[in-house]
């Protein structure tokens, strides 16, 4: 007999190639729950009936819905995965909390505004709902290697983190979250940043910068420098240099391999539901990266440094587009 009844909001459609309109992440979540054990996949919902029915058929799920609120009302779910676009995360999370769901695992980024991210986290605390976000790279061997090197004293005192990766509301949130974890989940003190947004760039319906450069200081005095190239690619890969070495090296995967980050992530999420232990991908940790992202947009709007905690609740990038302060060239339909 299963311990947890699991439902899915936003199944998506399996495609040959994932893109900025969909990664069909619900399928990856479902595989993770199966691997975690004790989970019964009982219901799914998508606004496109064909998508929901395809997901249900693939996983042998009997209950299919087009309205997630109806699913929450009828199915007495213990756990819900939310795999929809960012602007939908807040209402869906808060509705799950109100329905008495024990745990919600939501796709990143948290929300499309800083205020929305804060409200979600607050609703979960008030409802005693475990709220986690899919920053699964915290469970990757790269993260393990960096943490171990710091724990062993091989690097010495960490003073700065440098990274070059994609847009902040997509891959960038993973990068920031990994840096935060390696730095002991310290809160940032301030952010000084600039973005360029000359060409419309929508990820899951949200405006995303073409390029950014971001400098910040953490509460423990460490600094971070993050940037992206015009095409969003990482030009150098992952590099490590220990304090007693002169050359940078490319880390290698451990012998024998290990579980994929997503499998480890969902396994830990479910273990935390059972034990009450705080999860690595808890909302409180996700908020740290999310605040930096929206502070980056705010720093560009103010043309100056932003001291934290962030004192605005909107998404400055979207607000600048809406007001005409930024006028990205629209893509052809």
Sketch out the chain's domains with CATH numbers: 4-136+261-281 (3.40.50.720), 149-254+287-323 (3.30.360.10)
Q: What are phi and psi of 164, to 5 degrees?
A: -135, 105
- Whole-prediction pTM value? 0.92
Q: pLDDT > 90: what percent of the chain? A: 76
H/E element holding 290?
Answer: helix 283-302
Using CB atoms within 10 A of its CB, is residue 260 exposed (0-12), middle (13-18) or buried (19+)?
middle
| 222-279 pLDDT, tens digit each | 999 999 876 655 554 556 666 677 777 666 666 655 568 899 999 999 999 999 999 9
* 3-class SS of residue 140: coil
Q: Across residues 53-74, what is the average pLDDT?
A: 97
Q: Is the peptide bond before 236 cis (omega within 30 degrees of 0)?
A: no
**Mean per-residue pLDDT, 25-49:** 96
Q: What pLDDT does 332 receive?
A: 72
Q: What Cα–Cα distance (Å) separates residue 117 from each residue in 78, 80, 90, 234?
A: 22, 18, 7, 28
Alpha helices in 161-257 (DSSP H): 173-182
The more confident residue out of 152 and 314 is: 314
């Amino acid at each position: 007999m299963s311990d947890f009844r699991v439902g899915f909001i936003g199944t998506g459609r399996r495609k040959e190639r994932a893109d900025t309109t969909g990664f069909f992440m619900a399928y990856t979540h479902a595989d993770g729950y199966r691997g975690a054990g004790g989970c019964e996949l009982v219901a799914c919902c998508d606004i496109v009936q064909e998508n929901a029915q395809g997901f249900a058929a693939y996983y042998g799920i009997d209950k299919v819905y087009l309205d997630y609120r109806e699913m929450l009302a009828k199915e007495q779910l213990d756990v819900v995965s939310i795999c929809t676009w960012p602007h939908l995360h807040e209402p869906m999370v808060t509705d799950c909390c109100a329905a008495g769901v024990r745990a919600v695992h939501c796709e990143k980024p948290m929300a499309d505004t800083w205020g929305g991210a804060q409200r979600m986290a607050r609703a979960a605390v008030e409802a005693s709902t475990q709220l986690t976000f899919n920053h699964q790279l915290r469970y990757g061997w790269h993260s393990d290697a960096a943490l171990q090197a710091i724990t062993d004293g091989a690097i010495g005192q960490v003073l700065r983190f440098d990274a070059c990766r994609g847009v902040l509301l997509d891959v960038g949130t993973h990068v920031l979250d990994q840096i935060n974890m390696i730095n002991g989940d310290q809160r940032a003190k301030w952010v000084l940043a600039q973005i360029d947004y000359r060409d419309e760039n929508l990820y899951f319906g949200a405006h995303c910068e073409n390029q950014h450069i971001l400098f910040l200081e953490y509460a423990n005095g460490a600094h971070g420098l993050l940037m992206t190239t015009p095409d969003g690619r990482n030009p150098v890969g992952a590099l490590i240099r220990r304090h007693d070495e002169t050359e940078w090296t490319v880390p290698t995967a451990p012998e024998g391999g290990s579980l994929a980050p997503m499998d480890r992530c969902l396994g830990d999420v479910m273990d935390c539901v059972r034990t009450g232990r705080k999860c690595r991908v808890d909302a409180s940790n996700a908020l740290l990266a999310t605040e930096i992202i929206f502070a980056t947009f705010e720093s560009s709007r103010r043309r100056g440094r932003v001291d934290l905690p962030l004192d605005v609740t909107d998404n400055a990038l979207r607000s600048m587009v809406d007001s005409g302060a930024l006028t990205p060239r629209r893509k052809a339909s």
